[in-house]
Structure 1
């Protein structure tokens, strides 16, 4: 039995994509996972599974979420060790502004990494490390040009969390 952390994309946005924590927990358990725990209502869930393939786990969870909610919920899975590495990498940036992390479903190609990092400006910087894109932004996230949507255009499905959440999850669930 191994432990994993799943990040759900685009839930609790508007009236039609509601997915409360208790319902997430029940759906993850319905997918055959145990020791399920959620953290805040943005789609962060830790669980144990006998499955070993990340793609298989993501597919099983996405199927359970679709059956439970009636809408697709892209799901991105990491191991606790991978999450800890993302948080540790972030600490090395020493950025004084807003720091967000886009978590990628798939491994990016070298060309795609270059394309997203080339979007950087003096005020907004993207740094890719594995399946995580660190977005180092100015004071106002809502005015940023370098967003999760921009990351998805270059690197595919991703979901975004602020560094505070990533660090809290790494402290709580990281290896």
Structure 2
């Protein structure tokens, strides 16, 4: 069975969106996942599943997560091979900006952002900030802090769509553990 890695969006934020790891694991198994593992409490899940489609796995997980959590849990799913390639791209970009990068975040999307939004995001020029959109990921390299980033707060970045962000360190760790 294929191995997938799922990234859950907007969980464990405040009192109303609690979704602990044990509940995530139970819901993942209820959705047909096996060999389920989680990493930190921000919604990083490894599973095997009989479905041969990322979209089918994503739909099954989102349905099971909503039933278990009591609220919708947007989920972004990658095959292990696709996640390994995405992480390799992050490492390549990070190395190219070595010394200029204080923080490196990767926003993951269920589907690739629209071409016009990608073009607009790539046209952004901010001192100490770079964005590279490649497939279903937007790599944001910051000399400063995520909370003061002008790129992340821009309408151009928002136009890429709703995704879920992880640090390059989390992606590196998840990839080393699961891919």
TM-score, length basis structure 1:
0.93
Matched, 1:118 2:119: no
The residue number in structure 2 matching 1:132 is 137
The residue number in structure 2 matching 1:66 is 66
1:108-150 Cα shifts (integer Å, max 9, x gaps): 2322211222234122110011111100112322111222885
Q: 1:153 aligns with which of 153, 158, 172?
A: 158
The residue number in structure 1 matching 2:21 is 21
Which deviates more, 6-15 or 83-92?
83-92
Q: Write the distance in 2 (CA, Å) between the matches of 1:3 and 1:126.
A: 29
Q: Write the distance in 1 (CA, Å) between the matches of 2:175 and 2:51.
A: 22
Shift of 1:153: 2.4
Q: Write the distance in 1 (CA, Å) between the matches of 2:138 and 2:130.
A: 10
1:92 counterpart SS class: helix
The residue number in structure 2 matching 1:83 is 83
Matched, 1:144 2:149: yes
Q: Write the distance in 1 (CA, Å) between the matches of 2:20 and 2:43.
A: 9
Verify the 8 A CA contact 2:118 2:160 in the aligned structure 1: yes
Matched residues, number: 174
Verify the 8 A CA contact 1:148 1:158 in the aligned structure 2: no
Q: Write the distance in 2 (CA, Å) between the matches of 1:108 and 1:143.
A: 24
Which segments of 5 or more consecutive residues in structure 2 lack a partner in the other structure? none
Q: Write the distance in 2 (CA, Å) between the matches of 1:168 and 1:20.
A: 20
Verify the 8 A CA contact 2:7 2:164 in the aligned structure 1: yes
Which segments of 5 or more consecutive residues in structure 1 lack a partner in the other structure? none
